[in-house]
Amino acid sequence: MASPRLDRQLRIPEWRQEMLSRARLGVVADDAQLTSVFLLGAAALGLNEVRVIAPWLDERLIGLARALNPDFRLQHLTGYLTHPLCLEALRHCHPLVDLSHFGLASKILLEQAFQHRLTVVRGHRWQEAQTQGLAVWTYQRGREWLDLQEVLPAAQLPGWTVPNLDGVLDIIAAGIMLEEIKVILMTGQSSPEVSAYTGPRWPEPEQQPTIGIVGAGALGNFVGLGLALAGFRHLTFIDPDVIEVTNLNRQIFFGGAVGAGKAQTLAARLHQDFGTRAQYVADYFQEQDVRHFDLIFDCVDNFASRIAISEACAAYHKPLLSGGADVSRGQVVACHPLLQPQTPAALLKMYEVQKTREEENRRQPRAACIYQPNPAVIMTNQVIGGFMVEAARHLLAGLPWPPLWYEATAPQKLGQA
């Protein structure tokens, strides 16, 4: 019997949780932060058995993973993949996940995949003097080998310590990879294209803006993690809700806290584990709340609240990042009084959508007005939450952020207007 915490993803049509729960994932890595963010998402999704070859992991994130999913079984072999004999530790693992930064490990995994008709999902994170980026690519026997030039690392041996790269892009890359792994396990198919993003390389914040996050659910969790990893400290979460067991398939900070307040728990755990000065307001959003902040994140999941936040930020001339995510798609829209003043409510036609929904509700018979929880899963929230923080860094640097769209089922998953 499936755990109640997986209820929201079990509601997705044709979802096959048994394929995820029975899988044995094999991971080769050398970056503690990216690897641990990926493992945290895997635990939330219900990938219960994972074997990892890596020199180290981030115990803060692994602790969150174990708290979320009591069935999570992590076997960690400390070290690097430098010889095919090390693959014995990954016997019967499928698919294989390559998060390494040196070519020898990638080549060993690709040879294993070619010889035994396995699948390798590679998450490539890179950083240069002024830019950084990510690429996610899947190899199955018969794929076009020219794609390898885009995702294989330049360094051949692990003779150096891999620094923690940008945590915001780690969140995004982990979400895209987990979506790919879910599809591979459920259908045997893989994406035909490389999913990639390139943006500026950001320094540590010199100024510490006061940031308000409205909504402490799945998007709020990943926005909070992304802001903490990016070095932002003055965070306030606004949300009146309490944690339910069905939140635990995607709201990563709430393991062991069912029944507690969402905003309070999220603020406390970010303060404890990541050193933020996070605060909380356990109440509904009020228009005047925006006065206290330099930047606002809209992480709520209903159009009426999103319209109210959009209008309040426009009235008080506050920058706003608005994100929305469902089972397979999402978007990130920015509003800035100087750079791009059109509000998310206007750009996304929220007024028309809300009016249509209200009319449909009025036509519903009374007996049909029964609460039906919406399906939800972790991956889109990872991707959109991560990109919301990336968009915020653009606005704070005086750079515009064109609307970004994510479509998990499309060959090209990411697009910007």
* Complete DSSP assignment for 347-402: HTTHHHHHHHHHHHHHHS-GGG----PPP--HHHHHHHHHHHHHHHHHHHTT----
What residues form DSSP beta bridges with 16?
none
Give the tens place of pLDDT for each residue, 148-179: 666 778 777 786 666 778 999 999 999 999 99
Whether residue 353 is predicted with pLDDT greater than 90 in this model: the reply is no
pLDDT computed for residue 148 by the predictor: 67
Arithmetic mean of pLDDT, 112-132: 93
- Rounded to whole angstroms, the Cα distance separating 186 from 343 reads 39
Note the pTM of the prediction, 2 decimals: 0.94
Structure tokens at 371: 């609460």
Q: 279 with 216: CB under 8 angstroms?
A: no
Say which amino acid occupies 314. A
The helix or strand, by DSSP H or E, that contains position 70, with its residue range, turns out to be none
Mean pLDDT of the chain: 92
pLDDT computed for residue 144 by the predictor: 54
Residues, the chain, total?
417
User: What share of the chain in percent tops pLDDT 90?
Assistant: 81
Give the tens place of pLDDT for each residue, 314-333: 999 999 999 999 999 999 99
Say which amino acid occupies 162. V
Q: 121 with 136: CB under 8 angstroms?
A: yes
Give the tens place of pLDDT for each residue, 291-308: 999 999 999 988 889 999
- Terminal Cα distance for the chain, rounded: 44
- Rounded to whole angstroms, the Cα distance separating 415 from 378 reads 20
Sheet holding 24-29, edge to edge: 73-78, 49-54, 24-29, 96-99, 120-127, 131-139, 195-200
Could you give the domains of the chain?
19-200 (3.40.50.720), 211-416 (3.40.50.720)
Say which amino acid occupies 196. A
